[in-house]
Chain A
Amino acid sequence: EAGVAQSPRYKIIEKRQSVAFWCNPISGHATLYWYQQILGQGPKLLIQFQNNGVVDDSQLPKDRFSAERLKGVDSTLKIQPAKLEDSAVYLCASSPGTVWYEQYFGPGTRLTVT
């Protein structure tokens, strides 16, 4: 079974530029999560989708971050404009709809904002 796929793996941008990350969850997984992991800290949930609806986006900085999950499968996370403090690893995870605690994580995208 293929795992959670993310791209790109690495991205370097200048502040005020925009960037987008892509996630393809495990086939059949209804729930998708985006986490932000700043160096030296644990992951922090940014947004959770159930199929293509948002369940929780309380920690998403909505003035600059946006996310969508088209057709309840793939998802993109966008930052516009980026700030220095957005430098982090962005992790995508997915879980079967009825088994929320079995979250499978992708390899992450490491973003560096200069």
Chain B
Amino acid sequence: AQKVTQAQTEISVVEKEDVTLDCVYETRDTTYYLFWYKQPPSGELVFLIRRNSFDEQNEISGRYSWNFQKSTSSFNFTITASQVVDSAVYFCALAGGGSNYKLTFGKGTLLTVNP
């Protein structure tokens, strides 16, 4: 069975602050993929990043960065210098080979960036 835990239900920050969204996952698969999606108020899920279980390199894309640590089964997401437009619900998701790569989502973290 797959499980994704996003312990932070809501986070509120002031613009320009850095913020880290936590994600912890559980899987027995050796081959799996991890994802982050953004869901703005419009409702569409927007893909942000995908990592596979064999690639633990951290990644940076502009103000976004991701820290993947297999030793702690975590895939955390950091936004540097947050902006009001970053306000959204962020979902971490897992897809393992044993589950036919079916996406299992966490419950999401609501990020509010205040001006």
A-side residues, CB < 8 A to B, are: 3, 40-45, 48, 55-56, 89, 91, 93, 100-108, 110
Does B102 contact A56, Cβ atoms closer than 8 Å?
yes
Closest chain A CB from B111 CB (angstroms):
15
Cα(A105)–Cα(B102), bound, Å: 15
Q: Could you say which residues of chain B place their CB within 8 Å of the CB of A105?
A: 44-46
Q: Could you say which residues of chain A place their CB within 8 Å of the CB of B105?
A: 41-44
Cα(A48)–Cα(B46), bound, Å: 19
* With known contacts A56-B102, A101-B101, A103-B103, A43–B45 Cβ distance under 8 A: yes
What range describes how many residues of B lie at the interface? 20 to 34
Q: What's the A-B contact tally at a CB cutoff of 8 Å?
A: 49
* With known contacts A89-B43, A105-B45, A107-B44, A40–B107 Cβ distance under 8 A: yes
Q: Which residue of A lies closest to B9 (CB)?
A: A40
Closest chain A CB from B92 CB (angstroms):
8
Closest chain A CB from B107 CB (angstroms):
5
Contact with A along B82-101 (1 / 0, CB 8 A): 00000000010101000011
Q: Could you say which residues of chain B place their CB within 8 Å of the CB of A42?
A: 4, 91, 93, 104-108
Pick from B42, B45, B100, B106: contact of A56, CB under 8 Å: B100
Q: Could you say which residues of chain B place their CB within 8 Å of the CB of A108?
A: 43-44
Closest chain B CB from A1 CB (angstroms):
15
